[in-house]
Every structure is written in C-alpha cells, then in structure tokens.
Amino acid sequence: MSTAPPCPELPPAPAAVVVRAAGSGDAGAVRRLSRPFVREGALRDRTAAELALAATDFLVAEDGRGELAGCVGLRARTDARGRPAAVLYNFCVAPGHQGRGVGSALLDAALAKAGARGAARVFTATTGSGLLFLRYGFAVGGDEEAPPVWRASLDPARGSRVLVRALG
C-alpha cells in the first residue's frame, strides 16, 4: 500500500501559537511586524518609543520557534454612553502566519481580556475586509456609540470602518 505525498498547495501544519502579554522589550519586534501593514496603509505608523510606552496594551503571538507571529493592542475606554468599553488596535499577523490560527488566537485572548476588564463592547477600525472580526461577531457600525476620544483619533482619509461587538 503506498501513501500519497502531501499536497503542495496546503500550508504546513501550524506550529503551536503562544499568546502572551507584551513587555517594553517587544516594542521593536512589534514595530518590525507592523511595518509592512503601515506601508500599505492598513495600520497607523507608531514609533518604537510610542509602542514601548503602550507595551502593556499589547498581546503578542509567538510561533513554536519563539518568533513574533502577530500582535494586537487592547485599550480600555468608555463608550459614548459612559459604559466600559475596549478598543482593539494595531492588529496584525505576519504574512507567513496568516490563515494558520494566529489571528484567531490573538482575538480570542483580546476578547477574553476585554471581558475580564468589564468591557460591555469592543470596538475596532479596519481599512480591510474585516472578515476575521465579522466571523467573531463584530458588526459594521457603532460609530456614534464608539469611545469619543478614540473615534476622534481616526483619520477619515484612511477610509476605516468602525466595527463593534457586544460582550457577555
């Protein structure tokens, strides 16, 4: 009995993904990971110093080799009605890791953390399709209910769409 060789169009089995809180020492790696997405206009450019100051906002995903595979920032905010909310930002997955569960692992961890912090809703903005967010129960809209400080920081020239998901 012979066995067929692996199908070349299938990606290799995903390495174990570990999601952890970022530290200030991760700022350079987060910046390097974000750069291609900044160049294509999907992410806002942040300096290494800005990322180091915001390090406690970030969750990072490492692959089985300890390399940074993705990241997401999570910041507590208050929505337009004064209720606890959270904002996801700088969400990105390295091209070689896309479609392999890294984004899902990051989003699962970020939503759990937002819920543990008492957020009633989570907001994000995307310039892309937002397909992963939509699969996770986010809906387009919510601009008028989004945290005012965050909403005011969005650059209309980037064409971002606001997405929102209720928690609990």
What SS3 class is residue 142? coil
DSSP code at position 77: E
**What confidence score (pLDDT) does residue 74 get?**
98
Across the chain, what does the average pLDDT equal?
88
**What confidence score (pLDDT) does residue 158 get?**
83
Burial class (CB in 10 A: 0-12, 13-18, 19+), 143: middle
User: What φ, ψ does residue 112 adopt, rounded to 5°?
Assistant: -65, -45
Full-model pTM = 0.86
Q: How many domains, the chain?
A: 1
Q: Is residue 78 part of a domain?
A: yes
CATH number at residue 36: 3.40.630.30
CA–CA separation, 8 and 41 (whole Å): 32
CB atoms near residue 51 (< 10 Å): 23
In the chain, DSSP finds a helix count (H) and a strand count (E) of 5, 7
> Residue 58's domain spans which residues?
18-166
Q: Is residue 37 part of a domain?
A: yes
Q: Report the pLDDT averaged over residues 10-31.
A: 79
Q: Is residue 11 part of a domain?
A: no
Residue 117 reports pLDDT greater than 90: yes
Q: Report the pLDDT averaged over residues 123-141.
A: 93
Q: Is residue 150 part of a domain?
A: yes
Nearest to 13, CA basis, from 92, 104, 99? 99
